Amino acid sequence: MTTDLSDIAFVKRIAIGGAGGMVTTQDVEAAVAMLNRCLTEFPKGRVIAIEHTPCVQEDSHGSHVFRLISYHIGFPRRPSWLDE
């Protein structure tokens, strides 16, 4: 299946999660809020790619698996409300 990306002029990458306990609940909530805003406000974006990045860390208590999920949101133009 191919997706027509000819109308995509701007891509925003939103990363949710991370490794090593370095990400707070507030960080995750802010990223999810941005993702929802990108998908609902004008101009509406659409998900054009999703990356899943696993990370394994070991310490004295054992192995811990963390995951970073990055969403690539494509827009026909850069939203004026989006500041980077």
pTM for this one? 0.82
The answer to whether position 47 is within a domain reads: yes
Counting the structural domains of the chain, the total is 1
The answer to whether position 28 is within a domain reads: yes
- Compute the average pLDDT of residues 35-59: 91
The answer, yes or no, to whether residue 20 has pLDDT greater than 80, is no
The answer to whether position 48 is within a domain reads: yes
What integer best gives the mean pLDDT of the chain? 88
The answer to whether position 3 is within a domain reads: no
The answer to whether position 51 is within a domain reads: yes
- Name the nearest CA neighbour of 70 among 53, 82, 45: 53
The answer to whether position 81 is within a domain reads: no
Range of the domain at 61: 10-75
Contacts of 70 (CB under 8 A, 6+ apart): 13, 14, 15, 16, 50, 51, 53
- Compute the average pLDDT of residues 6-34: 88
**pLDDT in the model for residue 63:** 81
**pLDDT in the model for residue 65:** 78
The answer to whether position 58 is within a domain reads: yes
**47 within 8 A of 72, measured Cβ to Cβ:** yes
The answer, yes or no, to whether residue 83 has pLDDT greater than 60, is yes
The answer to whether position 69 is within a domain reads: yes
